[in-house]
Structure 1
């Protein structure tokens, strides 16, 4: 996908989520940042210097995990990491390798050949390789691809630890829920263009609408939605068995009034919470709006 009119800034020490559907231009952008693809116009600056001034010096400060990294199948995890430790000139490589394998839960598999690794284990091994030389910037393309839920949580915690130690992390992904839990800011790509760049709270804020309360009832209450619609603060009310969704007027906290109305109708509330806009909703709104602009 051709990338057009891209102006993006990643601040030192932040976790930046680079979002977009498949084919949006995310991987193309990463390849340009790495100097593998050369932009036909414009320049890429890393640490205040144009990438082309000294690309090797810049790349020594970067760790990379691709979505489909190739790992030599015939070598063990330990041999694989030792090979790259030698390339990077890592001091005390044995200790560094052991620490990374231990942190990523691969220490007991260090003598296992990579061809016997699961996809998730290979992904963790790629992450270990990217961290060997203690990079200042991590570029990650779908870093939790192939991981089970425990592996995803473990990698998430590791990335947060690295970020707290000062590492800048750039995550390219289409897994919005994972980025939502880690990123400070996100950029949303669609059809080769950056359609929005902002903090996650700001993106949620663009979806401001009347507050919605989601209520779980002990048992269904006949005609409850009609009774709630009689209240002046209720915009919409919809029941589906034991689940009730109520849209109310903005401003005051109307949970007490809703609770009283449900009780008066003979219902018992076992849970209630306010629905907050999600990053996924913001993403869909922005990309749908972009499509509408280009079609028109």
Structure 2
């Protein structure tokens, strides 16, 4: 994963590289620090890049004999150009170094920073969504316990009745507000192709639609699956929705294979991620 610390480290690396060719006595120590920090940073970044971006990232590091790049610079930033005093003055513009900072480090490093920016735009939203899906899953798997507590009578007062999805949504709404700042109930998608879709809840900051369904005798697992397929089609149109979380409350255990049901309907690597959780009483 391309995270903020990796992005911030680029500023430190660039500063170290810039001073690794100073004429001061500290340049050698700066060069050692640059080698160690860049190596660790480089290896960690590669772990978080997809194959195509990783290939481009490595090319900026490896370079070639004819075109030295970062690899050569960080190894020997203080290496002198042996022909410096034997070539015409116009050819000495890049200085006395075998591997000049501007062409051998800064130029390819700027390209590596661009690659990181591209990768972070693609990975960070999905990483945040995965974290949010995790919180929603924890809430959903504890939902039967919350329902059971609310249904109990206490000191002569009747417990809360949970007969249908509207009752379930009231409980879920209360639980969501404990974990998320901006929970919007009953958002509607734009009307298109003959109809619009009502989202049970929209987590506005996280850009996730939350759908709650409660199994009953007239609602078979097949029907629930068909409903979710239609929901996905409709919710993708909402400009503030980038993923869907669906909790299916199954108090009478009508779904025989809940984990298989979840797996069949969830879409982890899709441009529009979907997480389905079946929670049973």
The answer to whether the superposition gives a TM-score over 0.5 is no
Higher Cα Rg, which structure:
2
Higher relative helix content = 2
TM bucket, shorter chain: under 0.3
Q: Which has the higher contact order (CA 8 A, sep 6+)?
A: 1
TM-score, length-scaled by structure 2: 0.27
